[in-house]
Amino acid sequence: MRTSLVLLAARLLDPVTGGFLPETALAVSGGRTVALGDDREIRALADASTTVIDLKGAVVTPGLVDGHIHPVTGAEMTGGLDLSGCTDLAGVREALAAEVRKLAPGAWLRAWGLDPNAFGDAPVASASLSPVLDDVPALIQLFDAHSALAGPRALELAGVDGPRTFDQAAEVVCDADGRPTGLLLEEAACELVERAAPRPTRQESGERLAAALRSMAAAGLTGGHAMDANGDSLALYADLDAAGDLPLRLRVAPWCRPGVDSDAVRALIGQQGRGGSLWRTEGVKLFMDGTIDNGTAWLERPDCHGESTHSFWPDPAAYTRVIGELHDAGVPTATHAIGDAAVRHALDAVERARSAGGPDVRHRIEHIETIPDDTVARFAELGVVASMQPTHCADFTRADHTDNWSRRLGEERASHAWRCRDLWDAGARVVLGSDWPISHFPPLGVMAAARHRRPGRDLTQPPHGPGQALTALEALQGMTVNAAWAAGEEHEAGRIALGHRADFTVFADSPLTTRAVDLPELPVLLTVVDGRTTHRAASL
């Protein structure tokens, strides 16, 4: 096969050792690294059809992979007004009012990224945004994407005029008189209003997804573990892949919800391995709870409001049975578990599945925001991947614990948040990600937050739990070698090595020696996926 790509004058960084490889150049053929050597040796492998790039001493790492991302959902959600920069109600009202003035008559206002901390001590309710939303149908996603705020007109159009009963943990929050406040908790409740809102066309969804993925490639991402396959997601990936326009390698885990029967579990098992050249269905995503901020996590002790006391699965034993069925079929699972009770139950389910024998399956737990000491060591003992999002801690909580998340949990639990360091030291495989659109997707920001644990918008603020910070090398490993291991791909991904995938991220300098607070600004010069350039800076 011909040599398709040659990279010269490079510093090739090994994320296992943290040192540079002795070679300064590499050659790619058939989407794999086929040669490593000095510039003279590797240049000789090129012909007239080979793309040859002189990196002038730039640093090459294995391609960075986001361990938890929602590309299609994120592309759709972020098409609205971004409220993530608003820190108080005055700022939220001002941003919404400006957006309302742009709307055509009867058009819906869609927004996302609303931080409940903006409401201070007031309840999260649409009345706090009156009169801005009184005359327009509005649906605003809170930053956790597990809750939304619907305006009065949107509730009216959706026919939501009182409490509802759901088969899974969800709630239309109502006042003492039974009138909806506008706050909708969890997917089933949000969907009541979503169904009444206009939906993008298939073409619009495809264009938004393509634009989002191009931005991710420009930020240095070469892959992502996509934690949903809802709606047209798989078809959209297939369209981009067939056209040669998919700039990320995606590992997709469809959802498994409460109430699933044996036929549905078999269907999920049957989906495994389907995909294209750069995407495939691999694994199943489950939810054990919701979020701490909206009181739907599952905690061993209630939060300060007496909330977060129940599993997302009305019958947690049913979840355990499903984990066992998937394990027996060799299907890896990824369980959303934020509260300590949820994490414990997920670990118990994996332990029970493993005790019955069967294949060696790499299960994961996502988020792990608060856990007690006796839970930490079990991740390594059971071989369960700890998939964590350090920007959630850095950007949505505060060191003084005056934020909504910390106040709900109380000082004791808030002081033991996002225990990345403890899990790492206990031998767990820690994988890092953004959970985009919950947090911004640039991987340098994710790695930086894992190191400094400060809010990205104000790095002068003190860190939340600095003792739980990771080193620069560990942060890089969390998005390279550990991400590859979690996917069962350590034999072909996560390192720069002969025969490994030609997925690379190229930086102006080393992410290991760049200060954590400066890391998000480190220029990404080149991104390569499967030997194909998906981003190239004008300076290169």
What pLDDT is attached to residue 478?
Answer: 98
Is the pLDDT at 269 greater than 80? The verdict is yes
Is the pLDDT at 297 greater than 80? The verdict is yes
Q: What percent of the chain has pLDDT over 70?
A: 100
What pLDDT is attached to residue 387?
Answer: 98
d(CA 525, CA 133): 43
| Gyration radius of the chain over CA positions | 23
- Provide mean pLDDT across the span 10-17: 98
- Domain boundaries 109-196, CATH class: alpha beta
Confidence of residue 324 (pLDDT cuts 50, 70, 90): very high
Query: By three-state DSSP, how is residue 62 classified?
Result: strand
Contact (Cβ atoms closer than 8 angstroms) between residue 479 and residue 489: no
> How far is residue 361 from each of residues 250, 483, 488, measured CA to CA in Å?
19, 15, 9
CATH (residue range 202-529): 3.20.20.140
In the chain, residues under CATH classification 3.20.20.140 are: 202-529
Give the strands of the sheet with 109-114, arranged side by side. Answer: 81-82, 109-114, 138-142, 147-150, 180-185, 171-174
In the chain, residues under CATH classification 3.10.310.70 are: 109-196
Confidence of residue 310 (pLDDT cuts 50, 70, 90): very high
d(CA 238, CA 252): 12
pLDDT for 399-425, tens place per residue?
999 999 999 999 999 999 999 999 999
Main-chain dihedrals φ then ψ at residue 486, nearest 5 degrees: -60, -30
pLDDT for 16-26, tens place per residue?
999 999 999 99
Contact (Cβ atoms closer than 8 angstroms) between residue 34 and residue 28: yes
What pLDDT is attached to residue 68?
Answer: 98
Query: How many degrees, rounded to 5, is the angle at CA 141 between CA 337 and CA 400?
Result: 60
Contact (Cβ atoms closer than 8 angstroms) between residue 339 and residue 293: no
140-149, 300-309, 347-356, 439-448: the lowest-pLDDT one? 140-149
d(CA 141, CA 194): 11
Contact (Cβ atoms closer than 8 angstroms) between residue 89 and residue 117: no
Length reported for the chain? 540
What pLDDT is attached to residue 167?
Answer: 80
> How far is residue 467 from each of residues 369, 403, 416, 418, 470, measured CA to CA in Å?
15, 19, 10, 11, 9
Is the pLDDT at 369 greater than 80? The verdict is yes
What pLDDT is attached to residue 135?
Answer: 86
What pLDDT is attached to residue 240?
Answer: 96
What letter does residue 20 receive in the DSSP assignment?
A: B
d(CA 518, CA 141): 30
pLDDT for 128-184, tens place per residue?
888 888 889 989 999 888 889 989 998 898 899 988 988 877 899 999 989 999 899
Round the average pLDDT of the chain to a whole number and report it. Answer: 95
Question: HSE (CB half, 13 Å, CA atoms) of 431?
Answer: 33
Which residues on adjacent β-strands are paired with residue 26?
7, 36
Amino acid at 100: V
Give the strands of the sheet with 51-54, arranged side by side. Answer: 32-37, 25-29, 5-8, 51-54
Q: What is the 3-state secondary structure (H, E, C) of 220-234?
A: CEEEEEECCCCCCHH
- Provide mean pLDDT across the span 282-307: 96
Give 257-262 contacts, CB < 8 A, sequence gap 24+.
257/168, 257/287, 258/167, 258/168, 258/312, 258/313, 258/314, 258/315, 258/318, 258/319, 259/167, 259/168, 260/322, 262/325
* Dihedral (Cα; 366, 372, 374, 379), 10-degree rounding: 10
Query: By three-state DSSP, how is residue 279 classified?
Result: strand
What pLDDT is attached to residue 182?
Answer: 86
What pLDDT is attached to residue 358?
Answer: 84
More reliable by pLDDT, 231 or 488 = 488
More reliable by pLDDT, 117 or 513 = 513
Q: How many CB atoms within 10 Å of residue 204? A: 13
108-122, 410-424, 447-461: the lowest-pLDDT one? 108-122
Give the strands of the sheet with 255-256, arranged side by side. Answer: 255-256, 284-287, 333-337, 364-367, 385-388, 430-432
What letter does residue 370 receive in the DSSP assignment?
A: B
Is the pLDDT at 435 greater than 80? The verdict is yes
Can you tell me which residue has the tokens 């608003």?
86
Is the pLDDT at 1 greater than 80? The verdict is no
Confidence of residue 219 (pLDDT cuts 50, 70, 90): very high
- Provide mean pLDDT across the span 94-110: 90
Is the pLDDT at 356 greater than 90? The verdict is no
Confidence of residue 515 (pLDDT cuts 50, 70, 90): very high
